[in-house]
Structure 1
């Protein structure tokens, strides 16, 4: 895949980038609620780099890894839930780390 250096890409550019029909991109928008490219004032779809990366992941799951559309949707949904849980866990661990560092600094200060 070529280097993405523009801010927005039209649907034709994205279709050419992946070698698929425009209709397939529109179909995947309906099948995957997480894929929501913006529309400009004229109503044309414009894809960001993030949209393109997400589409790349969807195409990989469906075409390369053999997932069904339902299976790919569930995979992406579960991955999002797992990432959310991981983020909460990291925040909690950082909070504990801060507490322990403060405790350590307090003990070190009292020994001086």
Structure 2
């Protein structure tokens, strides 16, 4: 087994870090845990949550459905149970499109600065 020298890799993220990633409150993440049974971060000590990359990916999908696309929680839960693969793929496509849009905005700024 090779030694991973990448210092930016974290095994666990705090609830505060994850909330900042998605611009939601910590209480929202805790509530989503009660509404989506597949979202179960590791808890240590006095219910201190530790989120893995897998947990963060779950949250990314839920965030996409609820906050970005405007689904009600029950509809999002039903969609996840019914067609998990399709939802994951749509979330990946949305992230790619957002990244492309941001790059295009930066290019436009750069071009406008040249003219």
TM category, shorter: 0.5 to 0.7
Spell out, residue by residue over 1:62-91, the C-alpha distance to the aligned partner (whole angstroms, 9 max, x if none): 111121100100111012499xxxxxxxxx
What is the TM-score when the length of structure 2 is the normalising length?
0.63
Equivalence map 1:48-59=2 (5 Å): 48-59=52-63
Gaps of 5+ in 1: 83-112
Pairs aligned (count): 79
Partner Cα separation in structure 2 for residue 81 and residue 59 of structure 1 = 16
Q: Which residue of 1 aligns with 2:19?
A: 15
| Aligned equivalent of 1:66, options 70, 88, 93 | 70
Tell me how far apart the structure 2 counterparts of residues 25 and 14 of structure 1 sit (CA, whole Å). Answer: 9
The runs of 4+ residues in structure 1 deviating greater than 6 Å are none
**SS class of match (1:9):** coil
Residue 15 of structure 1 and its aligned partner are, at CA, apart by 0.8
Report the counterpart of residue 97 of structure 2 in structure 1: none
Larger radius of gyration: 1
Unaligned runs of 5+ in 2: 1-7, 87-115
